[in-house]
């Protein structure tokens, strides 16, 4: 865990659960996976969570709960944005419901913080929070008996929260009239997402396939704030026209039809995009983040550009006309650059400023990008089309 994170869109990371499994192309160069199998392979929080392959360490599917890290956010008094499980997935298949509840309980006891949850398993996240939103228990006993999974029943029936004894002790005296803060809070979970307005739920969408698959589940999940992380961005992603069985069925930024075809008032509240970093990073064409920027601008959705990564746009240079003076050439170049967003794509200028990105898909780009050059994350920076994009989501009440 780190109280001061270098991830641009957060302030700190918190890893009460570590370990994961590879599920999609975005996992290929996962920094947490590589770290767990190299520098941290003998650390108690990572030991035995990866297997060695010719391509390097790979998650083996095992997960671990770090009991001594659970209460860490309670010790941070200054409000922070906290990325939850940066070295795992809170909703990984092997993570018991009881572990998730313990993590959520800490979030509920630290309302000064914003907790940013990111998953590649939106189906499970939706199912987990839906059961809370759909429950209206009259008492704690109703809440206990309504649950079926053994792990959750064990959590409720274990003697009024002794699993949380150390955590509760570290929190000090319970509030007046609250003999069992854990159970009072669990009763309030029936009012999810109002019970935890400081929790932002998000999904990773590295390509169009993952966007089409994952975002509808996120939009059908009760949440105070919903967001997506398009990093590493591996192709053009159209959020305005998600498809199912080849047909457009969801506009994730302005309107939404849920999995049953019913229209609901749910949209994405924040979009983060970025290129891949590291020695094996795959390139991101400038069209892709610029498209997301334009989609967000058209729908008034906050957009955050995290990084170019280890690739960046090659400088655009206007061809000089025969006999053209230096002054005339500079004036013509400045005039074009001031009115258009121009990058090179296979050696040819490409104007990006007014390209429509609604329902029609952009053509798939070639494998090699003549307008992209290898760089380093620090050198490539975070400027997109000459500007920084650091917008954060507004808190919005969920339906």
Q: What is the pLDDT of residues 141-164, one digit of tens each?
A: 444 444 433 444 444 443 334 334
**What distance in Å separates the CA atoms of residue 69 and residue 99, rounded to the nearest whole number?**
13
The residue segments making up the domain with residue 183 are: 12-19+63-200
Tell me: do 104 and 144 sit in the same domain. Answer: yes
Q: Is residue 124 part of a domain?
A: yes
**What distance in Å separates the CA atoms of residue 353 and residue 356, rounded to the nearest whole number?**
9
Q: Last residue of some domain: 200, 217, 232? A: 200
Q: Is residue 395 part of a domain?
A: no
Would you mind telling me the total number of residues written for the chain in this entry?
Answer: 399
Tell me: do 221 and 171 sit in the same domain. Answer: no
Sequence-ordered alpha helix ranges (H) in 172-278: 181-188, 208-219
**What distance in Å separates the CA atoms of residue 62 and residue 143, rounded to the nearest whole number?**
30
Tell me: do 214 and 191 sit in the same domain. Answer: no
Q: Is residue 393 part of a domain?
A: no
Q: Is residue 394 part of a domain?
A: no
Q: Is the dihedral of CA 174, 180, 183, 188 positive or negative?
A: negative
**35 contacts 87 by C-beta, under 8 angstroms:** yes
- Predicted structure pTM score: 0.77
3-state secondary structure of 93: coil
**pLDDT over 90, % of the chain:** 36
Tell me: do 263 and 187 sit in the same domain. Answer: no
Domain count, the chain: 2
Tell me: do 324 and 269 sit in the same domain. Answer: yes
Tell me: do 283 and 242 sit in the same domain. Answer: yes
List, for residues 63-85, the tens digit of each pLDDT value. 999 988 988 998 898 999 999 99
The predicted pLDDT at position 193 comes to: 66
Angle in degrees, CA 315, 25, 309, rounded to 5 = 30
Confidence label for 282 from pLDDT (cuts 50, 70 and 90): confident
Tell me: do 371 and 283 sit in the same domain. Answer: yes
Q: Is residue 256 part of a domain?
A: yes
**How large is the angle between the packed helices 122-133 and 208-219, nearest 10 degrees?**
10
**What distance in Å separates the CA atoms of residue 68 and residue 282, rounded to the nearest whole number?**
37
Q: Which residues contact 302 (CB under 8 A, 6 or more apart)?
A: 269, 270, 271, 296, 391, 392, 393, 394
The predicted pLDDT at position 138 comes to: 42
Angle in degrees, CA 309, 313, 319, rounded to 5 = 170
Tell me: do 123 and 195 sit in the same domain. Answer: yes
Tell me: do 193 and 209 sit in the same domain. Answer: no
Q: Which residues contact 276 (CB under 8 A, 6 or more apart)?
A: 29, 231, 232, 234, 282, 284, 309, 310, 311
**What distance in Å separates the CA atoms of residue 47 and residue 64, rounded to the nearest whole number?**
10
Count how many Cα atoms sit within 13 Å of the Cα of residue 237 in the half-sphere of its side chain: 31
Tell me: do 195 and 225 sit in the same domain. Answer: no
Tell me: do 232 and 367 sit in the same domain. Answer: yes
Confidence label for 43 from pLDDT (cuts 50, 70 and 90): very high
Q: Is residue 340 part of a domain?
A: yes
Q: Is residue 27 part of a domain?
A: no
Residue 170 Cα to chain centre, angstroms: 30
Residue 232 preceded by cis peptide, ω within 30:
yes
List, for residues 342-367, the tens digit of each pLDDT value. 443 333 333 333 333 332 333 344 44
Tell me: do 158 and 291 sit in the same domain. Answer: no
Asked if pLDDT for residue 201 goes beyond 70, the answer is yes
**What distance in Å separates the CA atoms of residue 371 and residue 383, rounded to the nearest whole number?**
16
Q: Is residue 217 part of a domain?
A: yes
**152 contacts 144 by C-beta, under 8 angstroms:** no
């Amino acid at each position: 865990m780190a109280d001061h994170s270098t991830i641009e869109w957060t302030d700190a990371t918190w890893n009460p659960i570590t370990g994961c499994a590879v599920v999609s192309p975005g996992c290929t160069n996962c920094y947490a996976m590589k770290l767990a199998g190299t520098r941290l392979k003998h650390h108690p929080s990572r030991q035995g969570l990866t297997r060695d392959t010719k391509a390097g360490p790979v998650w083996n599917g095992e997960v671990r709960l770090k009991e001594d890290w659970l209460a860490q956010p309670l010790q941070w008094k200054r409000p922070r944005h906290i990325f939850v499980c940066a070295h795992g997935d809170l909703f990984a298949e092997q993570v018991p419901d009881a572990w998730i509840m313990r993590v959520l309980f800490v979030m509920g006891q630290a309302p000064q913080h914003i907790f940013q949850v990111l998953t590649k398993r939106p189906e499970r996240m939706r199912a987990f929070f839906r059961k809370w939103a759909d429950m209206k228990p009259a008492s704690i006993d109703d809440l206990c008996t309504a649950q079926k999974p053994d792990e959750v029943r064990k959590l409720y029936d274990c003697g009024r929260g002794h699993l949380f004894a150390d955590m509760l002790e570290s929190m000090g005296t319970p509030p007046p009239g609250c003999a069992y803060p854990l159970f009072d809070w669990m009763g309030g979970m029936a009012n999810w997402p109002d019970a935890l307005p400081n929790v932002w739920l998000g999904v990773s969408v590295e390509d169009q396939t993952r966007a089409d698959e994952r975002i509808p589940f996120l939009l059908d999940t009760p949440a105070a704030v919903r967001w997506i992380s398009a990093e590493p961005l591996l192709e053009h992603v159209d959020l305005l026209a998600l498809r199912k069985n080849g047909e457009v069925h969801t506009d994730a930024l302005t309107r939404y039809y849920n999995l049953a075809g019913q229209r609901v008032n749910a949209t994405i509240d924040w979009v983060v995009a970025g290129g891949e970093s590291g020695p094996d990073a795959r390139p991101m064409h400038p069209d892709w983040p610029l498209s997301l920027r334009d989609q967000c601008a058209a729908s008034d959705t906050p957009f955050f550009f995290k990084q170019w990564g280890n690739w960046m746009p090659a400088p655009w240079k206007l061809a000089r006309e025969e006999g053209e003076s230096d002054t005339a050439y500079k004036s013509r170049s400045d005039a074009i650059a001031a009115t258009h967003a121009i990058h090179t794509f296979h050696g040819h200028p490409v104007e990006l400023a007014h390209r429509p990105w609604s329902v029609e898909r952009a053509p798939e780009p070639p494998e090699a990008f003549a307008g992209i050059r290898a760089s380093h994350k620090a050198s490539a920076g975070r400027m997109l089309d000459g500007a920084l994009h650091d917008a954060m989501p507004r808190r919005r009440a969920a339906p």
